[in-house]
Amino acid sequence: MNALQVSGVGFTYGARQALNDLAFELAPGRFGALLGPNGAGKSTLIALLTRLFELQQGDIQIFGHSLRDEPRQALRQLGVVFQQSTLDLDLSVQQNLAYHAALHGMPRREAQARIDEELLRQDLAERRHDKVRTLNGGHRRRVEISRALLHQPRLLLLDEASAGLDPASRLALGRHVRNLCREQGLCVLWTTHLLDEIESSDDLLILHRGERVASGKAAEFGDLATSFARLTGDEALGRGHVREAIRPNLDTQARRSGFSREHPAEEPQP
């Protein structure tokens, strides 16, 4: 059974097609990276997965439970960290987590045991009584991950979770979440527009203009910068999704392969 199965999902905002016949699957215990430029449809997909939007076309199953037919059972398997933080900055770490547990209807004793467990796992036990506003960005994200895991979901969604973090914190967050996959068997879907957040062992799906344009193990893509630019064209370059550190390598490989920014959709000529 797949952790996540997306089948023929389409979604429109009026006349604009945000997702078009999207289909992919993610196995339990895997780290899946959903990569695409801004406007590719990533946020729309997250809204559908969390039922902020109703499905218009197709179906989504989470560990065999259809979001259309069994929404409660499906959402019970799901934990979410949104791009914009939803923590109360004036409450302590402990208070934020306890409030979330209460919303899930967890008995107080069970909730406290789960909070203690997650704070230890996230290396935050010593910060439990600190107000959230005193934490740095990386630690705030760890609090949000702790909160998302309190009810022991089997699938964790992280939507642009590294937004606003410095490079060291982004690296540490990615490493931490991958460790959760390896050590806890958690399945993760991580959305991003940044190439340097992808590791060779990840399951990679590239989304562009609402459609899946490529998928597979990240290692299979070779030079990811070149592949991503070819698949998404000038949108990837013009909006800054290829970082400055990657551009020189991209430019060199593009010249060697015959790839041109003026004709980004064309295959290299023999």
pLDDT for res 64: 94
CATH class assigned to 4-220? alpha beta
pLDDT for res 166: 81
* Residue 245 scores a pLDDT above 70: no
Task: Between 84 and 73, name the one with better pLDDT.
Answer: 73
pLDDT for res 61: 96
Provide mean pLDDT across the span 92-118. Answer: 94
Task: Between 263 and 7, name the one with better pLDDT.
Answer: 7
pLDDT for res 46: 94
pLDDT for res 83: 82
pLDDT for res 246: 39
pLDDT for res 138: 86
| Ranges in the chain annotated CATH 3.40.50.300 | 4-220
Diameter of the chain by CA atoms? 67
Provide mean pLDDT across the span 100-116. Answer: 93
* Residue 269 scores a pLDDT above 60: no
pLDDT for res 169: 80
pLDDT tens digits for range 7-42: 999 999 999 999 999 999 999 999 999 999 888 999
pLDDT for res 16: 93
pLDDT tens digits for range 201-225: 999 999 999 999 999 999 999 889 8
